[in-house]
Amino acid sequence: MKFSVYCMLGALCLPYSALKAAGPGAGTVLLTEEGVKNLGIETVTVEESTFEESAFALGRVEVIPGRTGAVSSRISGRLVELNVNPGDTVSEGQVIAKVESRQPGDPPPVIPLSSPIKGLVMHSDARLGDPVEPDKALLEITDLSEVYAVSRVPEYQAGSIKPGAKAKIKVAALGEREFEGELLRFGTAADQESGTIDAYFKLPNADGILRPGMRAEFTILSGIRENVLSVPKDALQGNPANRHVYVKHVTLANAFDRVNVQVGEASGDRVEIVDGLYPGDEVVTRGSYSLGFAGGGGGISLKEAMDAAHGHTHNEDGSEMTPEQAAAAKAKAEGGGEAGHDHGSEGSVSSRELLFMISTGVLAVLLVITSITKRKGPDGTTEQA
């Protein structure tokens, strides 16, 4: 029979069923070496380190006001040349279109139209041959060398974030690439429906990879503390009221203790541990969730784990053998399954065998006494002796 146990310092070992009453989370998950590989178990060593307190928010990329220009004609006419399309990058002063004037002439005068700024062609309403009027813009060009990343910060967190605070920003469309921004200012008003307020960060965008409207995730740093114990979020299991992690056992190979922990602040991909762990503990990260379903299934017995850890034989429940039990186990092993067989151990019998022998003897004596005290007479009746 397989049990789960909790062993402290490799000396005190109790069945998990006995420790279960002491509180939830007691117990050790025992696996084979193959089981550890199949679950992809990975661990990290708990250490005290610098902990960045942060707030998480969602947001978007926006164009910086004043960095958008329009291309239009000063005269009426007809569009006779168009050299760019939406998505093209243009430089300041580059000729991007030509307009044939309505003024008389042979041929009519042709006026070149140049880009007022360096940037990206964002929008175009122009087609060759279209009439052109001074009050109508043909193209829209935006300078994206710098952009705003605007996060929607919950109002209750905004008070702990000051201008100048740094933020690590990830854009969903760009995978795991991370940008760093600095808080410039908050918006002029909060959104009453969502309970958030806009926070503006300026980001460099020399390669133009950030585009307006892209969704972004913000980890805004609000403070830094030293010598804080923390673990990766992947290590943390359970519900908000009962958090636990799995810690590599000190002495048993391929064994992992479930340990209840008290958590503090979260920062990025790490969570502060207030109570439950110590520096040097090896906490399971990858495979931690699977361990919750692995206890007792597909693992090894407690006896096998204790035998391997201590180098001698234990009972099935993991307890130490008495000298008598050790002798009986040795005799059984040497006899190929029957203790004392052909090895001079006939005098060593178990309590069950002894009870059986005594019971058989008593029954035999009773049968003899009954047969002596009762006999049948000549007429077939039973007579007492």
Q: Which pair of structure tokens corresponds to residue 318?
A: 């993991």
CATH of domain 68-142: 2.40.50.100
Q: Residue 56 pLDDT > 70, yes or no?
A: yes
Q: Residue 17 pLDDT > 80, yes or no?
A: no
Share of the chain above pLDDT 70, in %: 77
3-class SS letters over 189-253: EEECCCCEEEEEEEEECCCCCCCCCCEEEEEEEEEEEEEEEEEEHHHCEEECCEEEEEEECCCCC
Give the pLDDT band of residue 383 (cuts 50, 70, 90). low
| Residues near 353 by beta carbon (within 8 Å), at least 6 away in sequence | none
Pick 5-47+236-303's CATH classification: 2.60.120, 2.40.420, 1.10.3470, 1.10.10.
Answer: 2.40.420
SS3 content of the chain, % helix, strand, coil (to 5): 20, 40, 40
Region 109-117 average pLDDT? 93
Tell me phi and psi for residue 27, to 5 degrees. 135, 160
Report DSSP state, residue 310: H
Q: Residue 378 pLDDT > 60, yes or no?
A: no
Q: Which pLDDT score, from 0 to 100, does residue 340 have?
A: 42
> Model pTM greater than 0.85?
no
Element (H, E) at 324: helix 323-334
Q: Residue 267 pLDDT > 70, yes or no?
A: yes
Q: Which pLDDT score, from 0 to 100, does residue 292 have?
A: 80
Give the pLDDT band of residue 106 (cuts 50, 70, 90). confident
Q: Which pLDDT score, from 0 to 100, does residue 352 have?
A: 59
Kindly report whether the peptide bond that precedes residue 107 is cis, defined as omega within 30 degrees of 0: yes
| Residues near 369 by beta carbon (within 8 Å), at least 6 away in sequence | none
Beta strands 77-82 and 95-101, pairing class: antiparallel
Q: Residue 214 pLDDT > 50, yes or no?
A: yes
Q: Answer whether 5-47+236-303 and 68-142 agree in fold.
A: no
Give 357 or 158, the one with higher predicted confidence: 158
Region 17-30 average pLDDT? 47
- Extents of the domains making up the chain: 5-47+236-303, 55-63+145-225, 68-142
In CATH terms, the fold of domain 55-63+145-225 is Elongation Factor Tu (Ef-tu); domain 3 (2.40.30)
Q: Which pLDDT score, from 0 to 100, does residue 95 have?
A: 95
Element (H, E) at 334: helix 323-334
Lowest mean pLDDT segment, chosen from 25-39, 267-281, 324-338: 324-338
Report DSSP state, residue 314: B
Q: Residue 331 pLDDT > 90, yes or no?
A: no
Give 268 or 265, the one with higher predicted confidence: 265
Give CA–CA dist 27/18, Å, rounded: 10
